[in-house]
Structure 1
Amino acid sequence: MAVAVAAFVAVTGAGIFGLWSYYAATGPAQETTVVIPKGAGVRGTASVLDAAGVIDNRKLFLIATKITGADRMLKAGEYRIPASSSMRQVLDLLRSGKTVVRRFTVAEGLSVRQVDALIRAEPALEGDPGPVPPEGSLLPETYHFTLGDNRQTIIARMRAAMDSNLAVLWDKRAPDLPLKTPQQALILASIVEKETGVPAERPRIAGVFINRLRAGMPLQSDPTIVYGIKRGEPLGRPILLSELQGITPYNTYTFVGLPPTPISNPGLDSLKAVMNPMETSDLYFVADGSGGHAFSSTYAEHQRNVQRWRSLERQGVR
């Protein structure tokens, strides 16, 4: 009897040692990404891991999850399994719920239609995004999400980010701006965003537009005309003289003041520029051929800058 018990203990001990060795052994040499579906359970999880080459013995995996209690704690989601991960490390990761963090980036100056198209095209998101939100209501930024997150949730986060940042910046705005509401500041910021791709210029361009609003001058912003024609899509050609002279709510050549809505989703830098514009006497600016603009405070000086720009255009500079 004593011999039989000793033999059983030896065999059992060997089995436990073998299982522990397998549990702690180094896994595949390459990093692997797996997706554990909701409701997969421990057996479904074992199948996914086995198919991906993360484990090579489903039975031992099931035993290990049972012994450790992990079978009741595994979480669904997308996981990036580091190279050489042991079964113990894999189970720790699946219990932690630390799924892959994805990034969705919205560039400054896109329209809500363009952002809506990007969100619809993102395969890692789910659900219909719903109606296109109001122009200018989405803050351009990089947003983190996980596989299967809802598109409407991402849009709600973008809107909340714009609302909160706009409120904070409005409270910190310079005194005596010719802007009555945060919405007016948002509209002007959307124009500044489309006027230049040079971050350092934004406070100065904002200063020009603020000076024009104070003087009762038209803003004369080409991007507003384009928005009136295409509602946020690229025009793809030069603006026609008839369009410059056309009567639309977005033609800032033919009326004084701001257009009725933003023309893009401005970034934080453009919002900050409008809330605290550069103090300048400038009333005009035109492209200078370097990607930036030449500024002037008199119409005569502006005309000279325009002539220089026209000469550069004839030379093929864009």
Structure 2
Amino acid sequence: MWRHVASNTITFLIVGLVGAAGVVAWGVNEYSGDGPLETAICLRVEPGTTMRSVSRRLEDQGAVSSGAIYRIGAEYAEKSGQLKAGSHLIPERASMQRIVDIVTRGGASTCGTEILYKIGVNAVLAEVRELDPATSEFTELAEFDPTAEGVEIPEDYTEMRERADTRYRIAMAEGVTSWQVVQALNAIDTLEGDVEEVPAEGSLAPDSYEIAPGTQVEAVLARMQAAQERILAEAWEARADELPLESPEEALILASIVEKETGVAEERPQVASVFVNRLRQGMPLQTDPTVIYGITEGQGVLGRGLRQSELRAETPWNTYVINGLPPTPIANPGRAAIQAALNPAETDYVFFVADGTGGHAFAKTLAEHNSNVAKWREIEAQRAAGN
């Protein structure tokens, strides 16, 4: 009899252990397998929020199948106390394991509201926008020019600046001058410490820069300069052979001219080839943007066409008058323009003119160029007549 009881007890223990192992295996699979979320969501975690409250919200929004398993998994991974405040993008079908990693990793918010400061050639804009997690596209909430006098600040901007999880970025466009960058940064109220000294022309890298409230303007400029130094050094090392350029500084000057001459990315190597061919042949570069820089010195936009007297005026930047490159860059070129200047297309082109499509028509001879110019004049006349 006792043997029978002992046998039954052992059997029950084995069944219990097997059952427990099965439950554990099921829990592990639930934790690491694809989640039930059908559409991405933006999970906002306020400072002081606990993992328990996050698990409940995730369960309510259909992101996890079990809040209890989510908490146990986070505890087992020793991440329960590492929850980071912010707005976190939870992708569709994300596993509980991945969600725990997302909300404890830290760094900038990956969704929610963003304030983007755009520094462009013709305008500076502060844009308040919100990411739709379902489409990964931003919806614009408000926009204004922070450099304008007496501008009315939108309520959305003020409200979003008070939120701890708002993300801030500065987007600097290619072809902006250093003076324009300094003026824009000094006008951004998220930054502190106005700067008076303008960095060397061409020394700032056009790019997108994450910032935090209270960041010093000088620190942002230092990041831009360091980035441009890296880009230029890498491009110089990978440059084509036998270029008519003596130094990285000369490459930066040529890149800035290429940047200002075309807004069509695919054209940059061809435009660069024209100027490289002219330098090789000892021809004047004859490019309008350098003349304009000699007039404005990079402080704003000319806003009108060039006069014949200006094309004849002797300034260090008038490439109709001087031979070779001007003494400094005329703007801050981007990576693509720098790479084009140091690895131009192999062509025999020495002329180009607008073709009416936003691009340019290139020519090897003056006769070809004159023909292209005549076509462009016809297009200009037709447009004028249409107005």
- Superposition TM-score, scaled by structure 1 size: 0.70
**Where does residue 127 of structure 1 map in the other structure?**
193
Kindly provide the CA deviation profile for residues 52-97 of structure 1, in whole angstroms up to 9, marking residues without a partner as x.
Answer: xxxxxxxxxxxxxxxxxxxxx999xx95599xxxxxxxxxx89968
Q: Residue 254 of structure 2 aligns to which amino acid in structure 1?
A: L
Shift of 1:300: 0.7
The structure that is strand-richer by fraction is 2
Higher helix proportion: 1
- Please state how far the C-alpha of 1:311 moved relative to its aligned partner: 1.2
The one of 157, 169, 175 equivalent to 2:241 is 175
Does 110-119 or 289-298 show the bigger shift?
110-119
Other structure's SS at 1:286 match: strand
Q: Name the SS for the 1:143 alignment partner.
A: strand
* 2:215 matches 1:149: yes
Q: TM-score, normalised by structure 2?
A: 0.58
Tell me the alpha carbon deviations over residues 230-259 of structure 1, each in whole angstroms, 9 at most, x when there is no partner.
Answer: 112211111000001111101000111000
Please state how far the C-alpha of 1:105 moved relative to its aligned partner: 0.4
2:276 is the counterpart of 1:210: yes
Q: Which SS does the other structure have where 2:383 is aligned?
A: coil
Residue of structure 1 in register with 2:311 after alignment? 244
Secondary structure of the equivalent of 1:161? Answer: helix
State the secondary structure of the residue aligned to 1:102: strand
Indicate the residue corresponding to 1:269 in structure 2: 336
Counterparts of 2:331 and 2:239 in 1: how far apart (Å)? 21
What is residue 302 of structure 2 aligned with on the other side?
235
In the other structure, the counterpart of 2:267 is 201
| CA deviation after TM superposition for structure 1 residue 120, in Å | 1.4
Q: Match of 2:353, SS?
A: strand
Is the Cα–Cα contact under 8 Å of residues 188 and 274 in structure 1 kept in the other structure? yes
Counterpart Cα distance in 2 of 1:104 and 1:187? 24
**What is the CA distance between 1:211 and its match in structure 2?**
0.1
Corresponding letter in the other structure for 1:314: A
Code of the aligned partner of 2:377: R
State the secondary structure of the residue aligned to 2:169.
strand
Q: Does 1:190 align with 2:256?
A: yes
**Unmatched segments (≥5 aa) in structure 1:** 1-29, 37-41, 43-72, 83-92
- The gaps in structure 2 that reach 5 residues or longer are 1-41, 49-81, 90-102, 110-164
The AA in structure 1 aligned to 2:260 is K
d(CA) in 2 for partners of 1:309, 1:152: 45
Residues 130, 152 of structure 1: 8 Å contact kept: no
Q: Which one-letter code corresponds to 1:261 in the other structure?
A: T
CA distance in 2, matches of 1:258, 1:198: 22
CA gap of 1:32–1:147, structure 2 versus 1, over 3 A, is farther
Instruction: Return the alpha-carbon distance in structure 1 between the equivalents of residues 206 and 107 of structure 2.
Output: 28
Q: Deviations over 1:219-238 (max 9, x none)?
A: 00000000000112211111
Partner residue, 1:293 = 360
The 2-side partners of 1:134 and 1:200 are apart by 28
1:147 shift after superposition = 1.8
Aligned residue type for 1:301:
E
* Partner Cα separation in structure 2 for residue 314 and residue 79 of structure 1: 56
Alignment of 1:31-46 (within 5 A): none
Q: Which residue of 2 aligns with 1:137?
A: 203
Percent of pairs identical after alignment? 50
Kept in 2, the 8 Å contact 1:286–1:293? The answer is yes
Deviation for aligned residue 1:121: 2.0
